[in-house]
């Protein structure tokens, strides 16, 4: 494990200290046009230039959120906008018509996925304010659109600056699922390199996808909403490459609505999860033993989560990127924190038998395996 761990690119360290409109080290497809499918209900995703020529009979100069459902943490302090950074943040709406678009502002290029009637394709934002076509040429009837940010916060702030625009009728949004989860994690939970083809590739926006992570897959299988608070390279006590703490830890970022803004504080009453998953520790052990300091920091994180969500079960997940002796060392420390409503959960190890994603991170196959274990445990424990 140690050989693999130290082979990870120093891009993780760059990500850790990245602020605002990061992502300059990231590659993205040069053509932002895509097609969800090739039949009569094809949904097209177009670049801002192409969108300038598209029109919609229902438009909004500002974002109100009426007839739409937001999933994740959104900053609504600026009138007419909904700002967000955390991976997995999404908007969902229903409409009758044949096409839909939305106005967004982005600090940089950020990868999204748009799902139209269960068919999914990528959408890339560009810096600035643009209108993005989400669906076109749809057959008659009611359609559901979900737009999900799959890149993490280091790619910069994105904002909805207008309500969905459709050529028919914007309908009342579907009700939120009754099941709710919150996951707090590092690069594993953010989906770092999950779509990479080997351990030798490094961080890019187009190989990182929160929707393919163990937490997102398990939540989808269980029919649960998920809020993902995940930042690559972060730890509970110290972060990637640090012998002593320097960068903000998860204790600093967890309470934020916008991950890199210290004054953006999330109101925990806006979302009450049925269970909280904490997968933090990979980076604390990066430079060797961290048992005492890590344990204290995790205890403080647990206390903060408990103050937000009193009485809700908390799962402490052993890092799959820590293997063999270090895996067991972290597991032992976490076991000392177990008590009523706090449970250690070992989903398995990322030992390379299924291949690797970029920089030795779990690939999509490994994430799917971890998700199955998580799904089984949550289904049993929560009677889901």
User: What is the separation, in whole angstroms, between the first and last Cα of the chain?
Assistant: 35
Q: How far is CA 284 from CA 29, 239, 266, 291, 374, in A?
A: 34, 6, 25, 9, 23
Instruction: Indicate where the chain has its CATH 3.40.50.1110 domain(s).
Output: 2-19+177-381
Share above pLDDT 70 across residues of the chain, in percent, rounded to a whole number:
84
Residue the block writes with tokens 């520790």:
281
Report residue 3 CA to chain centroid gap: 28
Other Cβ atoms closer than 10 A to 77: 12
Instruction: Indicate where the chain has its CATH 2.60.120.260 domain(s).
Output: 39-171
Q: What is the pLDDT of residues 298-343, one digit of tens each?
A: 999 999 999 999 999 999 999 999 999 999 999 999 999 999 999 9
Q: What is the pLDDT of residues 332-374, one digit of tens each?
A: 999 999 999 999 999 999 999 999 999 999 999 999 999 999 9
Domain 39-171 indexed as CATH 2.60.120.260: yes
CA dihedral 53, 56, 59, 65 (to 10 degrees): -110
Q: What is the mean pLDDT of residues 107-123?
A: 97
Q: What is the pLDDT of residues 147-188, one digit of tens each?
A: 999 999 999 999 999 999 999 999 999 999 999 999 999 999
Q: Which CATH class is domain 2-19+177-381?
A: alpha beta
Residue 60 tokens read as 């909004």
Separation CA 22–CA 184 (nearest Å): 21
Separation CA 362–CA 138 (nearest Å): 37
How many residues can be counted in the chain? 384
């Amino acid at each position: 494990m140690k050989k693999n761990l130290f082979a990870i690119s120093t891009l993780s360290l760059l990500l850790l200290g990245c602020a605002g409109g990061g992502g300059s080290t990231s590659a993205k497809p040069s053509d932002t046009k895509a097609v969800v499918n090739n039949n009569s209900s094809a949904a097209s995703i177009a670049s801002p230039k192409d969108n300038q020529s598209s029109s919609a009979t229902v438009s909004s100069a500002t974002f109100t959120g009426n007839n739409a459902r937001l999933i994740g943490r959104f900053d609504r302090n600026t009138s007419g906008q909904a700002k967000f950074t955390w991976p997995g943040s999404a908007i969902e709406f229903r409409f009758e018509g044949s096409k839909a678009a939305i106005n967004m502002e982005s600090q940089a290029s950020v990868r999204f996925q748009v799902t139209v009637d269960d068919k999914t394709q990528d959408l890339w934002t560009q810096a600035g304010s643009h209108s993005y076509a989400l669906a076109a040429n749809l057959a008659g009837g009611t359609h559901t659109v979900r737009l999900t940010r799959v890149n993490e916060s280091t790619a910069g702030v994105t904002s909805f600056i207008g309500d969905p625009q459709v050529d028919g009728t914007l309908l009342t949004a579907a009700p939120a699922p009754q099941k709710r989860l919150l996951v707090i994690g590092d690069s594993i939970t953010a989906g770092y390199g999950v779509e990479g083809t080997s351990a030798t590739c490094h961080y890019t926006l187009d190989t990182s996808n929160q929707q393919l992570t163990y937490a997102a897959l398990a939540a989808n299988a269980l029919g649960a909403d998920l809020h993902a608070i995940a930042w690559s390279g972060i730890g509970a006590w110290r972060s990637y490459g640090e012998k002593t703490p320097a960068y903000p830890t998860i204790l600093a970022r967890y309470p934020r609505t916008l991950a890199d803004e210290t004054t953006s504080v999330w109101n925990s009453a806006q979302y009450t999860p049925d269970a909280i998953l904490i997968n933090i520790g990979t980076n604390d052990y990066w430079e060797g033993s961290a048992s005492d300091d890590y344990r204290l920091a995790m205890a403080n994180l647990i206390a903060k989560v408990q103050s937000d969500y009193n009485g809700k079960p908390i799962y402490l997940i052993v890092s799959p990127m820590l293997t063999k002796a270090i895996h067991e060392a972290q597991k032992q420390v976490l076991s000392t924190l177990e008590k009523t409503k706090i449970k250690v959960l070992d989903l398995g190890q990322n030992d390379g038998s299924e291949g690797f994603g970029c920089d030795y991170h779990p690939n999509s196959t490994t994430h799917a395996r971890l998700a199955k274990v998580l799904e089984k445990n949550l289904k049993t424990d929560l009677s889901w």
